[in-house]
Amino acid sequence: MTGVTTDAVRDLIDRALEVYRDDPAALAVLDACYARVSDPLRVAMVGMVKAGKSTLLNAILGEEIAATDAGECTRIVTWYRYGDTPRVVIRRPDGASKELPVVRVKGRLTFDLGDETADDVGRLEVEWPSSTLRDITLIDTPGVASLSAAVSERSLGFLLPEGAPSETDAVIYLMRHLHDADISLLQSLHEGAAGLAGATNSVVVLSRADEAGSGRIDAMLSASAIADRFRHDESLADLVSAVVPVAGLLAQSARSLRQSDFTALAKLAALDRPQREKLLVSADRFVADSARPGSKDAARAALLERFGTFGIRLACSLIKGGVSDATSLSRELARRSGLDELLELVAGRFQARAAFLKADAALASVERVMKDHPHEGTVELEASIERLRATAHELRELTCLATLRTSPPVVEPALVDEAERLLGGKGVSEADRLGLGPDAPASEVEAAARAALATWRGLAGGAAADRATVALCQAVVRSCEAILAASGPGVSAAPRLVLAPEPSRRGWQETGHERRAS
């Protein structure tokens, strides 16, 4: 079905290009639509200033490449795409471009704008040989609610372009606390989403989650409790599909952990616990050089900057518990940082239906063109879009998921939640849809699917049901039938986002990145 739908959308765009062959403005939008269907899924990192967007992006990439300081680059929308070799290009608002030199400083990739300022740049495009970027394009946006109105406007202008569809397919929204400003922005993103996906393509990250427990070893437990409370908050429930806590700094450092880091952490772990905890009472005490009062221990200062108090405590505990090498420590710290859970969400809720999110967005863009540029010959295009949305069940699921949020059906609340799950709103594998464990046997999958099918067939045939509820029930019935058809010999596992191996500290030229044939 994926290939059929994608081909049908491309064919429709080709026909629209022919209709608008004499309209340059419309052609530009339609050309972008065509590319969007073929390109990797676009995932934007969004949030208020200092929410930790760039740090989390670095964690996902496993490379300290995104700007995390207060320089000009943090004021610019930056696209991170796959490329065989590192490359940074400025795209100016007038269409002109300029390539920047790429330099590694103290293990971190940097790029200097030179004489350029953020006001001169439309966006930055960074190409990097990371396998993660083969599947998704990550977009780092400037902080919203910045002290600089221009910075906020630049971010909002990208996310919610006036008179044009959004360029993003999915959103990872970072916040440290739940404020009215966060709800307002999420509501705007929901209403301005390209296509009909709405909350289906948005997740919230409770960022800098370790701060919830003041750096204690159990900080992530406190953060998980807060995330669970947000998850059930009525103001968020209709706007996002999930809330997950992530300790971004720890995730970034775990994914780029060096042997020298492991050696320094192992040295700390070897200390008696009272001695180690005494050092970690405060940042000043931890970095103080006992041999030279009034000065700092440079190695400890670097360790604190990279891992934070929580990361150091956790790493020492893991090493004391038997973790004996840098690779194992890196994996365990990344897991405990919350990064693995986030990546599973990205894979199961974004990437697994990427083709349909992109198709949905492309159809919305074509519809926008027809609305903004009335033209003879568009009636047939409108009919084709309507037929495509009606016959491609995965697109119907997106439509129904949006409807569930805005116009709930006339059924019990528990059945509304079940409908969302069966339609793939909480993951698209058979196990996710049925609320079963990933290792559920085929017999259990079949029994659960048949039970759900019977329930929703009964609801669809209810004499008292209104037309919209019947249409939704019929869509759920179709999803149940698809589960039965696909479950066959076993349960399909949810897809996972495949991360690139840790890049060597020697530089990209020596890492042995896989090259694509040119």
Compare 199 and 195 and report the one with higher pLDDT: 199
* Report for 60-69, 339-348, 448-457: range of highest mean pLDDT: 448-457
Residue 500 pLDDT class (50, 70, 90 cuts)? very low
pLDDT in tens, 458-479: 888 875 567 888 888 899 999 9
**140/133 Cα distance (integer angstroms):** 14
Residue 513 clears pLDDT 60, i.e. is over it = no
Q: In what order do the strands lie in the sheet with 123-128?
A: 97-100, 87-91, 123-128, 78-82, 136-140, 41-47, 170-175, 202-207, 243-246
Q: What is the pLDDT of residue 206?
A: 93
pLDDT band at 511 (very low <50, low <70, confident <90, very high): very low
The confidence band for 512, taking pLDDT boundaries of 50, 70 and 90, is very low
Confidence bin at 317 (pLDDT 50/70/90) = very high
pLDDT (0 to 100) of residue 315: 95
Non-local (6+) Cβ contacts of 302 within 8 A are: none
Residue 424 pLDDT: 87
What pLDDT score does 502 carry?
37
Q: What pLDDT, on a 0 to 100 scale, did the predictor assign at position 154?
A: 78
Across the range 399-426, mean pLDDT stands at 79
- Which of the two residues, 198 and 219, has the higher pLDDT score? 219
Return the pLDDT at 253: 93
Mean pLDDT of the chain: 82
Q: What is the pLDDT of residue 504?
A: 37
**Residue % of the chain over a pLDDT of 90:** 30
Compute how many other C-beta atoms are within 10 angstroms of the C-beta atom of residue 489. 5
Give the residue, 342 or 296, on which the prediction is more confident. Answer: 342
Q: Predicted confidence band at 5 (pLDDT cuts at 50, 70, 90)?
A: confident
Tell me: pLDDT of 288 over 80: yes
Mean pLDDT calculated for residue range 200-212: 85
pLDDT at residue 448, as a whole number: 94
Beta bridge partners of 173: 46, 204
pLDDT of residue 310: 92
423-432: burial string, b at 16+ Cβ within 10 Å, e else: bbbbbbbbbb
Please tell me the distance from the alpha carbon of residue 409 to that of residue 425, in angstroms, as a whole number.
16
* pLDDT confidence of residue 328: 95
What average pLDDT score do residues 24-36 get?
Answer: 89
494 contacts 429 by C-beta, under 8 angstroms: yes
Concatenated DSSP letters of 189-225? HHHT-STT-GGGGEEEEEESGGGGGTT-TTHHHHHHH
pLDDT band at 196 (very low <50, low <70, confident <90, very high): very low
Nearest alpha-carbon partner for 397 in 197, 170, 194? 197
User: What's the DSSP call for residue 346?
Assistant: I
Can you state the angle between helices 326-336 and 248-255, rounded to 10 degrees? Answer: 160
Q: Please, what are the domains in the chain?
A: 42-247+339-351 (3.40.50.300), 253-336 (no CATH), 388-487 (no CATH)
pLDDT (mean) for 98-114? 76
